[in-house]
Structure 1
């Protein structure tokens, strides 16, 4: 079982979106982006929305593609990559639809790291703005 039951997105610099059920995560601070397998996308979706790891482990215990041992390793990898941190929050229940999608997932839990666009993402001036003013007001160095 994972050390913590509930996790949260590690930083406001980590943004994510789901396209047709596939999660894409971008770390604006490092410029790295992350892609997930089908089961990994579902687990990310659950963990980033506050679903407890115990609820996930119970729902995928019989799934060949993931399994509880694979879940522990996957969560540890997400924490190591700096995408998730343990949270003191209250665990949210796993939605039935997401549980069914996890049970039907065919690929093992996997996250791939891409840094081929990191230089472009980091120097993107749109992300270097004064919060209340927005672009094109460039943030002044302090």
Structure 2
């Protein structure tokens, strides 16, 4: 990891929302959704807002200090799932005091959970792939 590593959300198909401090990320192209531990949620929030990955190393989270290896493991998962992309030569945003405090208050180690149980429904195009009499989400059968 280089000190200037800045990342962005990979595409417009990757959408996310935070509920009670927990980030849920949905990849509309695959139908997979991702849940993060509380510390992972805060790191996602930082990365998706342009904070350099290196700024997160050494911060308190989940009752411990975030190490390089731990953060690189998290980043590699996000890259593997195509949720983020690196933005070379992009100036980093500062890590806010509010986000630092929220990160320090987390109680779980960094973790990513992948869910694909609703993938078939998520990738259905409700306008073009609907059987009119049955309604959504009854997918039209291919002839």
State the 1:20 CA deviation: 1.1
State the 1:73 CA deviation: 0.8
Larger CA Rg, structure 1 vs 2: 2
Partner of 2:117: 116
1:22 aligns with 2:22: yes
Q: Which has the higher strand share?
A: 2
Q: Is 1:65–1:108's contact at 8 Å kept on the other side of the alignment?
A: no
For the residues of structure 2 that align with 1:69 and 1:87, how far apart are their CA atoms? Answer: 21
Relative distance call for 1:63 and 1:87 in structure 2 (3 A) is farther
Structure 1 residues without counterparts, runs of 5 or longer: 129-142
- TM-score, normalised relative to structure 2: 0.80
For the residues of structure 2 that align with 1:104 and 1:67, how far apart are their CA atoms? Answer: 17
Q: Which deviates the most, 32-41 or 117-126? A: 117-126
Please report the RMSD computed on the Cα atoms of aligned residues, expressed in angstroms. 2.4
- TM-score, normalised relative to structure 1: 0.81
Aligned residues: 128
Q: Is 2:63–2:108's contact at 8 Å kept on the other side of the alignment?
A: no
